[in-house]
Amino acid sequence: APVENGALLETLKSQVGLFSNKSEHYSAQVRPPGTSRQIPQTIIIGVRKGGTRALLEMLDIHPNIVVAATEVHFFDWDENYVKGIDWYRNLMPFSYGNQITIEKTPGYFTSPQAPGRIHDMNSSIKLLLILRDPTERVISDYTQVYYNRVESHKPVQLFEDIVIKNGVLNTKYKAIQRSLYDVHMEKWLKHFSLDQIHIVDGNTLIKDPLPELQKVERFLNLPSRIMSSNFYFNQTKGFYCIRSDGRERCLHESKGRPHPLVNTTVLEQLYSYFREHNAKFYRMVNHSFDWH
């Protein structure tokens, strides 16, 4: 009976976590007439904790964009890369000819292999890179690992005890390494020209998403379709949430978690360590950001 089918459909939808009518349509296993699965014409390459999920979900509002539901890790994980390009394409949603497919895997930015492999696939691809203050990124990275460890009943350490070893900054700490944007960017610029990589300001995307998204629309040569009415500020979450296809949704609770209060001396050490790297990065990309 139709009622039962409707109820079943609602249950299935909630189980697979589909949000918009658009995703429901494209995530279907049955190919809608006139669609096909396309290799991404654009990839959000990172950075981890930069705001990659927010960027992807906000771009998904656009009628000419379809997005991959999960992080694919094709170019950074050898065990996936060996599966080949058809495996990769099969993970993409169905799309019409006037739509571009986007996937996001934050680990690509810091992966030594990803730039060359992506270039081998499509040398004229357009890349999106979302960055935020490198010190904030380290703290966000630490916070994620902290919660993961708590959830799996593993011991946790204070931020300061990881970041400072024998009185000096532990520059080997992975989270610090990932925030050396100049070091990673250099590898991308060996394979791609600067005008192929659009940098989204992750700090601005949090405070005022629309202008950053409009810049992305222009970079992708798409008509301007994302509107201020697509966003509303959720006081409880403390972040902007999305209104689209008649529904309202915020990002998962793991996005936008409170950060620990960090000792100011340690913060100063981090700011000063990143300062030179940031300056180098600004020169590399001909653009500065208001990072510490």
Ligand X SMILES: Nc1ncnc2c1ncn2[C@@H]1O[C@H](COP(=O)(O)OS(=O)(=O)O)[C@@H](OP(=O)(O)O)[C@H]1O
Residues in contact with ligand X by CB under 6 A are 48-54, 106, 140, 143-144, 205-206, 239-240, 251, 255-257
Where on the phi/psi map is residue 142: left (φ > 0), alpha (ψ -120 to 50), or beta? alpha
The dihedral through the CA atoms of 60, 205, 144, 285 has a sign that is positive
Angstrom CA distances, 271 to 135, 138, 224, 265, 284, stand at 7, 11, 37, 10, 19
CB of 233 to ligand X, least distance (A): 9
Min separation Cβ 244 and ligand X, Å: 13
Min dist. Cβ of residue 46 to ligand X (A): 8
Q: Residue type for 2, please?
A: P
Instruction: Tell me how far CA of residue 109 lies from CA of 2, 19, 52, 89, 142, in angstroms.
Output: 48, 27, 11, 20, 18
Least distance from ligand X to the Cβ atom of residue 51, Å? 4
The CB-of-106 to ligand X minimum distance in angstroms stands at 4
Task: Decide whether 22 or 53 has the Cβ nearer to ligand X.
Answer: 53
Nearer to ligand X, 56 or 65 (CB): 56
CA 189 to CA 47: how far, in whole Å? 16
- According to DSSP, the residues that pair with 103 across neighbouring strands are 43
Q: Which is nearer to ligand X, 37 or 132 (CB)?
A: 132
For ligand X, the closer CB: 199 or 251: 251
CB of 182 or CB of 212, closer to ligand X: 212
H-run or E-run covering 129 = strand 126-131
Question: How buried is 161 (Cβ within 10 angstroms: 0-12 exposed, 13-18 middle, 19+ buried)?
Answer: exposed
Q: Which residues are CB-neighbours of 41 under 8 A, at least 6 positions away?
A: 100, 101, 102, 122, 125, 126
Phi, psi of 98 (to 5 degrees): -95, 15
CB of 154 to ligand X, least distance (A): 18
Least distance (Å) from ligand X to the CB of residue 98?
27
Q: Which is nearer to ligand X, 220 or 242 (CB)?
A: 242
- Comparison of 240 and 289: residue with beta carbon closer to ligand X: 240
140: Cβ–Cβ under 8 A, 6 or more apart, which residues?
A: 49, 132, 259
Q: In angstroms, what is the minimal distance from the CB of 144 to ligand X?
A: 6
Query: Whose Cβ is closer to ligand X: residue 84's or residue 260's?
Result: 260
Q: How many other C-beta atoms can be found within 10 angstroms of the C-beta atom of residue 64?
A: 16
